[in-house]
């Protein structure tokens, strides 16, 4: 996965575990990105919930890079792209 894709769809993203879970629950998420260096106890529920909802899950290597691709100055463990 390229971080460039996220920079191109910034208006259509939600950032953070709680917001991503909410987007999945409300059926507005089309795909989810998870940072592999994030705490697995936080990201596993997101991955499972996304799989149950038939939403593609992509893994990226860095929370810091994922946050930067989303236009924020801090790292993030999860991002969802809205439909």
Torsion-angle region of residue 38: left (phi > 0), alpha (psi -120 to 50) or beta? beta
pLDDT at 1 over 60: no
Signed CA dihedral, 29, 21, 23, 3: sign only: negative
Tens digit of each residue's pLDDT (9 = 90 or more) over 58-77: 999 999 999 999 999 999 99
* pLDDT band for position 4 (cuts 50, 70, 90): confident
Tell me which residue of 10, 16, 7 sits closest to 74, measured CA to CA: 16
Query: Tokens standing for 18?
Result: 């709680």
pLDDT at 28 over 70: yes
What is the pTM for the complete model shown? 0.92
């Amino acid at each position: 996965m390229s971080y460039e894709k996220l920079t191109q769809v910034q208006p259509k993203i939600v950032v953070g575990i709680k917001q991503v879970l909410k987007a999945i629950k409300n059926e507005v998420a089309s795909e989810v990105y998870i940072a592999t260096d994030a705490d697995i106890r936080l990201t596993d529920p997101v991955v499972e919930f996304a799989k149950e909802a038939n939403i593609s899950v992509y893994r990226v290597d860095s929370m810091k890079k994922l946050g930067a691709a989303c236009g924020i100055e801090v790292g993030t463990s999860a991002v969802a792209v809205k439909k």
